[in-house]
Amino acid sequence: MGVREGETATYTVVLDTAPTGTVTVTLTSSNPDVTPSPATLTFNVSGTKRWNVPQTVTVSAAEDMDLAHDSSMLTHTASGGGYDGVTADSFTVSVIDNDTASLVLSTEELTVMEGGSSTYTVRLALRPSNTVTVTPSLRTPNPDITVDPASLSFSTSDWSIPQTVRVSARHDADKLGERAMLDHAAAGGGYDGVTGTVDVAVADDEGACGTKCVRISPNGAIAEGDNATFTLHANPAPTRDLKVRVFVEDLRSTFLLAGDRGTRTVTLPAHQAAVVIRVPTQDDAKDEPNGWILAQARRFVGNDQGYAVQKDSQGQLGLQQALVAVSDNDAPPAPETGLTKFVTFTLSQATIEEDAADPWVDVDISLSEPHTPAGPPGSVTPVLDSRVCFSGSARRSRNLHQTGDNGYDYRVWVTEDIHGEIAERIDGGACSSASFKRGETQARMRIEILDDDHEDSGETIRVGMERVDLPKWRRLGVGIATPLTTLVILNDEGATLPAGHPVVKYGSLVKSFHARITAQGAHGNGARGGWNKRFLKAMGHPDYVDYPQAAVTVADATRLWNHGGPGANTAWNGTVEAVTYAERYFAGQVTTPDPAPVPEIAIAAGADVTEGTAATFVLTANPAPAAPLDVTVTVATEGDYGITAGERTVTIPVSGSTTLTLATTGDDADEPDGSVSATLAAGDGYTVGTASSGTVAIADDDVPEITIAAGAGVTESTAASFTLTANPAPAAPLDVTVTVAADGDYGITAGTRTVTIPTTGSYELTLSTAGDDADEADGSVSATVDAGSGYTVGSASSGTVAIADDDAPGSVLPAAHPVIKYAALVKSFHDRITAQGAHGNGARGGWNKRFLKAMGHSDYVDYPQAAVTVADATRLWNHGGPGANTAWNGTVEAVTYAEQYFAGQVTAEDEDTTDPAPAPEITIAAGADVTEGTAATFVLTADPVPTAPLDVTVTVAADGAFGITAGERMVTIPVSGSFTLTLATAGDDADEPDGAVSATVAAGTGYTVGSASSGTVAIADDDLPPPAADPEVTIAAGSGVTEGTAASFVLTASPAPTAPLDVTVTVATDGAFGITAGERTVTIPTAGSTTLTLATTGDDTDEPDGSVSATVTAGTGYTVGSASSGTVAIADDDLPPPAVSVSGGDGITEGGDALFTVTADRAVAADLAVTLNVAEAAGPDRVDASIRRHRNVPWWCC
């Protein structure tokens, strides 16, 4: 048996012979992660859990934290009822692991200040099979950025412990920030090919503004649905159109539509000092916190005309930003039912500057009334435990060593006494505990804001509150009124210079001069130091614009460069060109060249792959970018091949092309082929070409191996069985070809047939054998797996079941022999004798045996009494009136034929006195409709029943992709006349239209096709979109039942739940029929419907009829519909005791037997004991006596 980790599979257990008492079967698993349920099974001699009714066992495989497939041996041990010490064959449950190896990085983005360092952590998501080495490396080497350590090692014991990586950035003299992609490659322990990436941003630590600046300001608060407006200012007004890139985002809730978020270009027209920016907000019906719309001036498009972006609050340069407050106008939702107290928490302020004089923000938590739960004196008071969790874009410091200088934005302080004035320790977890004890109403935490010196857009801290032990909160009537709020940190840092500025255009030259000044130290104010600083003043370097000496001119630069000879002073190489450009730039004479064309990005998929081989996609930029270009790619997958779907960033280098490699995982599980697709998403700095998407097919390479095992030997008329096993279990029902061969005449049709192995991985092939009265040699039947598509044949490819003849030796009777010709009548007499047992030699038993002697039955030819004659048979048949003794129906004709047969008076023509048996007519009936993953059934019936197993051709057709193989297949109807065709359907996670499967009887040999020649079973898809509201649950009662038959109620959830839904049902009963009244929980699956079955007990007591009702009661996660209750009538099936009468026989002569007939007014189910009082009347020849006797009225009698 195969089962996926986290899922279940089922099988059944049944006893093969009747026990003498109750039998308990104990199930044991060798692996604690594999659990059979129930752990014990009980089989009874009769009644409920009857010994010959299969009971279902559900095997559950628990989720684990490793990458290995697993297995468990299940054993079954019986005790009691004559089964002590009996064990069933153990079998192995194969657990298919569903985990995917991945690296857990504490962040995907890391900011490092020049001259400083920042850290992040790495750990493994799952336990590896061996040591794993993770190597971090810069995608593009950069001497200014270092990573330590060079590699990380994780063992099978410390795989889940985060290890720290430190990224350091050297200080330089320019005003340029830098970016780098830090890749992580894992190897070993099942992690080969697993990768992860951290985007590293190096923030520059210089900043200034010249005489021409741009800033942005807000225009007042709004309500949702209004336009948020900002004003973009230029001072002075530009002489030509000035284009500025402005970034817009909402900092709380979702007031902006997706199309209004992100970066836009805003134009300040020539000679206009300001322009208004309008950002629409959406007016929805959702209650949400008030929020902010942020607008941020970032950079210039084209010619910056010498402008820089300025933060007006302190006159410093930066990614300058403004905030417009947005208020929500929707009413809050109704509180939870039954709540009497509420917790609110507020922040002492909604926004705060990074460098605020008072860096503390209080988080005040209030309970609307004191926590005073009821309880007897001295009882333990329930504590209301909650968690306050911190998230958002701001980085949280975990200890005193993680400061703003390290890039951290805030710390959270708590105290052992939550009501203390100042907290006493730093909480390093993602969430901090807050509890209310008896009488408490207030609690506080504090947020300390750190200045991180980063040029960021301002960060947010989202503060949320969660209830711990939610049932306790609800039981005590306490809810949370404000589950989430947000704190906005306003940035105070500077921004970069425009691209055309001399410091940027000649960055390397400027950096060399700045480094020279730094190296000179105190001597930097001398003549050489002065010329260096005067050069940087000429270039407009923000650190030297106020240097007291005059800026270097072109003439100065030429003279200094030629000092000692033409071009001899190499330290001044390039300065003449640089100063020439700077003079023209600051005179407004530099025109910005047309921007380079934006690269168009195309993507091409590589060749299709087999699982375990990486899929590749080639991204091409045309033209090639001037600098590494980040492109957003959306990855989607079909199938479980270990690829993480979602967006990722791919960097195209200046060469113009890069390959995106997506590793796939190989396993031992048979599953459908899949695919991975990569689609280019729109982004900054590029356009998306027509070749915007590509798909690589992923072929599964795990083909199941099929083996077959023969069951135990059988006696004729008992079915032979073979178990076919697919390893691994197939992902969809698998058709396998099997050749059947037979030795002996036991009614088995030899030849090839197709069997379907379901996704459980096992199928039992059952071949019916025919029983007869002929002594014949023992035989056998064999089944061999043939080669086919989609599987391989294992070494155990064939099996044989021995078939034993159960007829006593002797000559085979001819077809015309009375025993053969009247076989059914003969059998009824033989069964009657067997039932009479020791009483079979009495008068009635003697007549039965004398009849069989007349028929020439081999067991009674030597019976000492005379054979029944035609006259005897006539008299016995008419005993009690003409034809009254129905037990002797047909005996007159049979004895007449037997006398003629043994007198040699039956001719060949006479032997075939009956018409040949008609060819059976085959009809088919469809079973109930099913949900995907549940087998559809069809019942084929032969009328009359065949005298030997009958092969019938059935054509299967399917509507929808539910894993059913369409086409013809052969089914064998046994001599019982009925066969159930089971067609497994495959379940999946895809929402799809409902479908159907139909089965049609095709014409064939040895049978005719009836009018009911076809049937259809509807297949319902069980994958639905999530419902918009709680499902409404209704209940419908099934038909009335007779005691001993289960009553049923169908519970329906509309719409169907997205996860199994627990519903509370109250059961009430009228009458003593073994049903336990009270509440019970019923789980409605995602199919939306389930049947509640209530078993009733049958007895032999005549009693009034009764009923059982089931009522849906209110609960969590659903509402109760109008059809909330139903009742099933229960009929008593026990009749009053039968009326018994006695009639006397004919008169007799003394010494003879006096005959009396005891008659019940109806047939009885079992022998009925009757007490008779027999009295002899006094007279000359009689004895006056009274005798009390007991007689049994047999069940077959009158």
d(CA 621, CA 629): 9
- Inter-residue contact 981 to 938 (CB < 8 Å): yes
3-state class (DSSP) for residue 846 = helix
Q: Predicted confidence band at 808 (pLDDT cuts at 50, 70, 90)? A: low
How high is the pLDDT of residue 783?
A: 94
How high is the pLDDT of residue 24?
A: 93
* Amino acid residing at 977: G
The strand ranges marked E within 906-964 are: 921-926, 930-931, 936-943, 950-959
Percentage, residues of the chain above pLDDT 90 = 25
Q: Which residue has the higher pLDDT, 894 or 477?
A: 894
- Inter-residue contact 403 to 397 (CB < 8 Å): yes
Q: Predicted confidence band at 1130 (pLDDT cuts at 50, 70, 90)? A: very high
Q: Predicted confidence band at 495 (pLDDT cuts at 50, 70, 90)? A: very low
Q: Predicted confidence band at 380 (pLDDT cuts at 50, 70, 90)? A: very low
Q: Is the pLDDT confidence value at 389 over 80?
A: no
Q: What mean pLDDT do residues 760-785 have?
A: 86
Q: Is the pLDDT confidence value at 885 over 80?
A: yes
Q: What mean pLDDT do residues 549-557 have?
A: 90
At 596-642, the pLDDT tens digits run 578 899 999 999 999 889 999 999 999 888 777 888 899 989 888 88
- Inter-residue contact 396 to 412 (CB < 8 Å): yes
* Amino acid residing at 602: A
Q: How far is CA 384 from CA 304, 389, 475, 481, 1086, in A?
A: 59, 16, 11, 15, 34
Q: Predicted confidence band at 175 (pLDDT cuts at 50, 70, 90)? A: low
Q: What mean pLDDT do residues 851-859 have?
A: 89
Residue 1137, burial from CB neighbour count under 10 angstroms (0-12, 13-18, 19+): exposed
Helix (H) or strand (E) holding 824: helix 823-836
User: Please, what are the domains in the chain?
Assistant: 1-99 (2.60.40.10), 103-203 (2.60.40.10), 213-327 (2.60.40.2030), 341-375+382-490 (2.60.40.2030), 507-586 (no CATH), 609-699 (2.60.40.2030), 705-813 (2.60.40.2030), 818-905 (no CATH), 921-996+1014-1020 (2.60.40.2030), 1032-1131 (2.60.40.2030), 1140-1193 (no CATH)
- Inter-residue contact 123 to 102 (CB < 8 Å): no
Nearest alpha carbon to residue 291 among 348, 252, 256: 252
* Amino acid residing at 530: G
Q: Is the pLDDT confidence value at 945 over 70?
A: yes
d(CA 86, CA 928): 38
Residue 270: half-sphere exposure toward Cβ, Cα within 13 Å: 4
Nearest alpha carbon to residue 4 among 1010, 731, 974: 731
Q: Is the pLDDT confidence value at 315 over 60?
A: no
Phi, psi of 896 (to 5 degrees): -55, -45
Candidate from 233-247, 460-474, 807-821, 1173-1187 with smallest mean pLDDT:
1173-1187
Q: What mean pLDDT do residues 966-980 have?
A: 87
How high is the pLDDT of residue 596?
A: 59
Q: Is the pLDDT confidence value at 375 over 90?
A: no
State both tokens at 399: 């200890």
Q: Is the pLDDT confidence value at 782 over 90?
A: yes
The strand ranges marked E within 348-458 are: 351-353, 360-367, 384-391, 410-414, 425-426, 431-436, 442-449
How high is the pLDDT of residue 809?
A: 58
Helix (H) or strand (E) holding 249: strand 242-250
Distance of CA 373 to the CA centre of its chain: 40
At 317-354, the pLDDT tens digits run 345 667 777 888 877 655 466 677 777 778 887 777 77
Taking all residues of the chain, what is their mean pLDDT, rounded to a whole number? 81
At 201-243, the pLDDT tens digits run 775 544 445 567 888 888 777 888 888 888 888 888 888 888 9
Candidate from 173-187, 418-432, 749-763 with smallest mean pLDDT:
418-432
Q: Which residue has the higher pLDDT, 400 or 442?
A: 442
3-state class (DSSP) for residue 21 = coil
How high is the pLDDT of residue 1180?
A: 46
d(CA 789, CA 965): 13
Q: What mean pLDDT do residues 1073-1091 have?
A: 92
Q: Predicted confidence band at 1010 (pLDDT cuts at 50, 70, 90)? A: very high
How high is the pLDDT of residue 455?
A: 44
Q: Predicted confidence band at 548 (pLDDT cuts at 50, 70, 90)? A: confident
Q: What mean pLDDT do residues 66-83 have?
A: 86
Cβ count near 641 (within 10 Å): 24
Q: Is the pLDDT confidence value at 312 over 50?
A: no
| Torsion, CA 249, CA 252, CA 253, CA 259, rounded to 10 | 0
Q: Which residue has the higher pLDDT, 273 or 1185?
A: 273
How high is the pLDDT of residue 1189?
A: 43
- Inter-residue contact 500 to 584 (CB < 8 Å): no
Q: Predicted confidence band at 1049 (pLDDT cuts at 50, 70, 90)? A: very high
- Which range, 107-111, 349-353, 385-389, 1140-1144, is most confident? 1140-1144
Q: Is the pLDDT confidence value at 1042 over 50?
A: yes
Sorted by sequence, the CB contacts under 8 Å of residue 178 that are 6+ apart come out as: 142, 144, 145, 169, 201, 202
Candidate from 499-508, 1085-1094, 1100-1109 with smallest mean pLDDT:
499-508
At 8-17, the pLDDT tens digits run 888 899 888 8
d(CA 317, CA 497): 9
Strands 40-43 and 23-29: antiparallel
Q: Is the pLDDT confidence value at 789 over 50?
A: yes
Q: Which residue has the higher pLDDT, 584 or 1111?
A: 1111
How high is the pLDDT of residue 205?
A: 47
How high is the pLDDT of residue 957?
A: 94
Q: Predicted confidence band at 1188 (pLDDT cuts at 50, 70, 90)? A: very low
d(CA 800, CA 708): 10
State the first-to-last Cα distance of the chain, in angstroms, to the nearest integer. Answer: 54
How high is the pLDDT of residue 483?
A: 61
DSSP 225: T
Q: Predicted confidence band at 316 (pLDDT cuts at 50, 70, 90)? A: very low
How high is the pLDDT of residue 427?
A: 57
3-state class (DSSP) for residue 1042 = strand
